[in-house]
Amino acid sequence: MAALLGIFGSGGCGRGIVPFAQMHFVRSHGNGARVLFIDDRPQSKEINGHEVVTLSQFLCLPASERFVTIAVAAPHTRAQLWSRCEAEGLQAWTTIADSSIQMDSIVLGPGAALSPFTAIGSNVRIGRHFHLNLFSYVEHDSVVGDFVTFAPGAKCNGNVVIEDFAYIGSGAVIRQGISGAPLIIGTGATIGMGAVVLKSIEPGSVYVGNPARRIR
């Protein structure tokens, strides 16, 4: 029996992850390994050459091992889907594109998806199920929590703490903090597309603009 990897989510996020997930997973588990989409409401039986199944169908397929990567950008939804998968005994799979760069002394939690042309600087700690989208980076001495999303082109400079469930929008820039006094992005905060963040952000807030200002 072959190993299976389910990409949970067949929308744009999942379709962006599956090409490098396929290469990575087959390289790790051999040519018989299969990568499928998991979708609660599949619109078709196949997308981009990959079978689409529900979670219950995925659990019934013969397999030597079963893994999952949650391919949904919304942090809280990603956490909910992972809770379901974890309850079924599935293993989290970390998918890293060949062109993604990781420097020294990095801690990367399980279930991450690091897209092509991304980078993580030295001495960075990252929690579970992190999404680092195309052309994004996290620089040195930063700490990133669980279920954090970086949209394409998001930039986090050094000495920044990003707490759980934060969403960093496309093209947003977070100013570098100070060693011992990092800039903090609070739990569940959202930074809008193209925002320039110059100071710490309160938990659960939404910031937009240059310089970034709170809108709720």
| Positions marked catalytic | 140
Burial (0-12, 13-18, 19+ Cβ within 10 Å), 213: exposed
Distance separating alpha carbons of residues 94 and 16, to the nearest angstrom: 15
Burial of 114-140, coded b for 16+ CB within 10 Å and e otherwise, reads bbebbbbbebbbbbbbbbbbbbbbbbb
- Please check whether residue 138 is in contact with residue 156, taking contact to mean a CB–CB distance below 8 angstroms: yes
The CA-CA-CA angle for residues 39, 41, 45, to 5°, reads 70
Chain centroid to CA 117: 14
Distance separating alpha carbons of residues 197 and 161, to the nearest angstrom: 13
